[in-house]
Amino acid sequence: MDRKDADIDVRQELTHAYHADAQAAAKTGADAPVEIRLARAEDADGLARCFYGAYGDSYDHEWVYKPDALRRRWAERMMMSVVGLAPDGEVIGHLAASFAGRASKVAEAGQAVVSPRYRGHHLFESMKQQLAAWAVDEGLYGLFSEATTAHPYSQRGNLALGAHEMGFIFGYIPGGVQYKQMADPAALHRKTAALMYLRTNREPSRTVHPPAAYREIAMRIYGNAGFARTAGTGEISPSDADGQVHLKRDHDHNAALLTCDSVGAASCAEIAARVETLKAEGLACLFIDLPLADPNLFVYGADLADLGFAFSCILPEARQDGDVLRLQYHNEPDIHLGQIATSSDFGHALLAEIAAGYQRSG
């Protein structure tokens, strides 16, 4: 397609009354039939309307309101989607697998939406089961997702499908995002996401090199999720030969992500400089993704801990050479650790350990 994403936008034709009517519509009976299948190009218009009915014009990614943008993402394998359909063909649910690149062996499950009329039908679980079955057939290692901790239900649904907690991303969801299940829907503080991973095919055995400060927690997460991982010794000669540090800003969330191809003295110095710059700019949250396959990570990890970074999560098979260690730094202390919900004994213990590390880092 030559047209740009801006050509068609359902927000230009739908009104707030459309969203209000969707929210107020009577719930469909529990025995109402729903078809779950892979999305097709002709579903894009209905899907954009479904997002508007469920979220109004407030959804984070504006391309969900643009049918051409949705079709382009499917055609270019930027994402693959599962949809739920009512008997008349109306799109009443959606869940996508999004890829960081064409060679990716894992995908992020997200952009979940269910029509207000069909909430309570367990459509999320049904759509994720279909998405996981597709991932199995495609040879993907797994699906990861960021589940809200404002309530336990999203985590619970993932756990029921066989997913495991890989960590917690503090402050990941901006203040103002509200959930019906929250005890205090008026709370404006930033909210935390649980990183969940659902294995769909067995991943390779690998040696990983978490820094000493994060080594114990990393290996405990691997053990709980059944990964074949061996902790490297870190017995190497430190080197200044390291990769570039890339910065991705998220202005809407007042957050940023640094990625580092390989670790060394130069990259650590660059990270330190960027942290000071971003702090001065008032950035709320900074995350850094580091390659666990790099032995230098064990050697230079202490430098990152000294900068105030705390453990966040592990992203399995997020690189072609293996896993990624995500660390987190928060310039604003508005995390409200006591309001983070978990859904398993392991998740509860993991949160406590990550929270303790976070408090020590501050």
Q: Tens of pLDDT along 292-347?
A: 999 999 888 888 888 889 999 999 999 999 999 999 998 765 677 888 999 999 99
**Cβ-based neighbours of 213, under 8 Å, separated by 6 or more:** 301, 302, 305, 311, 357
The predicted pLDDT at position 102 comes to 85
User: 305: helix, coil or strand?
Assistant: helix
DSSP 135-203: HHHHT--EEEEEEESSSSHHHHHHHHTT-EEEEEEEEEEPTT---TT-S-TT--S-EEEEEEEEESSPP
Q: Reply yes or no on whether the pLDDT at 3 is more than 60.
A: no
CB atoms within 10 A of CB 186: 7
β-pair type (142-148, 106-114)? parallel
Q: Does residue 190 fall inside a structural domain? A: no
Q: Does residue 175 fall inside a structural domain? A: no
**Which residues, in sequence order, are bridge partners of residue 315?**
324
Q: Does residue 189 fall inside a structural domain? A: no
Q: Reply yes or no on whether the pLDDT at 2 is more than 70.
A: no
Q: Does one domain contain both 222 and 316?
A: yes
- Given 124, 140, 156, the domain boundary residue is 140
Tokens read off for 201: 């095919």
The predicted pLDDT at position 337 comes to 82
Residue in 57, 63, 134, 127 with CA at minimum distance from that of residue 92: 127
The predicted pLDDT at position 242 comes to 64
**Which residues, in sequence order, are bridge partners of residue 208?**
231
Q: Does one domain contain both 2 and 131?
A: yes
- Given 140, 158, 179, the domain boundary residue is 140
Q: Reply yes or no on whether the pLDDT at 186 is more than 70.
A: no
Q: Does one domain contain both 136 and 212?
A: no
Question: CATH number for the domain including 272?
Answer: 3.40.630.30
CB atoms within 10 A of CB 179: 15
Is the Cβ–Cβ distance between 179 and 148 less than 8 Å?
Answer: yes
The predicted pLDDT at position 236 comes to 63
Per-chain mean pLDDT for the chain: 89
β-pair type (142-148, 164-173)? unpaired
The predicted pLDDT at position 235 comes to 64
The predicted pLDDT at position 179 comes to 41
Count structural domains, the chain: 2
The predicted pLDDT at position 188 comes to 55
- CB-based burial of residue 343 (10 Å sphere; 0-12 exposed, 13-18 middle, 19+ buried)? buried
The predicted pLDDT at position 181 comes to 42
* Domain of residue 89, residue span: 1-140
pLDDT tens for residues 48-93?
A: 999 999 999 989 889 999 999 999 999 999 999 999 999 999 999 9
- Given 140, 171, 192, the domain boundary residue is 140
User: 190: helix, coil or strand?
Assistant: coil
The predicted pLDDT at position 332 comes to 66
Spatial distance between the Cα atoms of 141 and 352, rounded to a whole number of angstroms: 28
The predicted pLDDT at position 112 comes to 94
Whether pTM > 0.85 for this model: the answer is yes
Q: Does residue 148 fall inside a structural domain? A: no
**Confidence grade of residue 264 (pLDDT, cut at 50, 70, 90):** confident
pLDDT tens for residues 24-37?
A: 999 999 889 999 99
Q: Does residue 184 fall inside a structural domain? A: no
Spatial distance between the Cα atoms of 106 and 159, rounded to a whole number of angstroms: 18
Q: Does one domain contain both 1 and 123?
A: yes
Q: Does residue 171 fall inside a structural domain? A: no
